[in-house]
């Protein structure tokens, strides 16, 4: 299946260099959140001579094109993941670091309340706490 990224990259006139394609493939194969360092390590497994700044620039390009989403999960945790069609939010376990996706319907009326009471338009919600496995310990 061709992801819309391939088409978008062509439409935007970017050449699909092997390095760019590889960064994209690594994120898609992983299918979840990766730090920039993890992406670099995976790419280097296949292209040992690749310049790390190329990987960082490619990540930024994919974020600019809205193909990859950059999420800050805590002050020092910056993650990249393939952008999904449906917006999602994150539950972050402060003990094991596990990240779970939730969607708009899981937030109940939170978005509406914040808009009406605060005039605040919610784009993304990150909730910190304890996951079910950690709560059992």
Phi and psi dihedrals of 81, rounded to 5? -155, 155
Instruction: State in angstroms the smallest separation of the CB of 96 from Zn ion.
Output: 3
134 lies in the binding site for Zn ion (CB under 5 A): yes
Give the count of beta carbons closer than 10 Å to the beta carbon of residue 26: 20
Cβ neighbourhood burial of 130 (10 Å; 0-12, 13-18, 19+): middle
Question: Does residue 95 interact with Zn ion by CB under 5 A?
Answer: yes
Spell out, one character per residue from 9 to 48, where the chain touches Zn ion: x when CB under 5 A holds, - when not. ----------------------------------------
What is the footprint of Zn ion within residues 57-76 (CB under 5 A)? none
Q: How far apart are CA 69 and CA 85, in angstroms?
A: 11
The binder of Zn ion chosen from 96, 102, 110, 127 (CB under 5 A): 96
Distance of CA 66 to the CA centre of its chain: 10
Selected binder of Zn ion within 93, 107, 114, 125 (CB under 5 A): 93
Does the protein bind Zn ion through residue 131 (CB under 5 A)? yes
Q: Is 13 left (phi over 0), alpha (psi -120 to 50) or beta?
A: left
- Where do contacts with Zn ion occur on this chain (CB under 5 A)? 81, 93, 95-96, 98, 131, 134
């Amino acid at each position: 299946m061709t992801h819309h990224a391939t088409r978008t990259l062509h439409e935007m006139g970017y050449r699909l260099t092997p390095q760019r394609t590889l960064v994209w493939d690594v994120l898609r194969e992983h299918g979840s959140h990766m730090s920039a360092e993890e992406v670099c390590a995976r790419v280097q497994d296949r292209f040992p001579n690749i310049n790390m700044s190329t990987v960082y620039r490619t990540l930024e390009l994919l974020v600019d094109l809205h193909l990859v989403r950059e999420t800050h999960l805590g002050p020092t945790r910056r993650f990249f993941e393939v952008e999904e069609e449906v917006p999602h939010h994150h539950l972050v376990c402060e003990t094991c670091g596990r990240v779970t996706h939730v969607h708009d319907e899981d937030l109940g009326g939170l978005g509406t309340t914040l808009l009406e009471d605060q005039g605040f338009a919610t784009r993304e919600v990150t909730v910190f706490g304890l996951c079910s496995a950690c709560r059992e310990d």
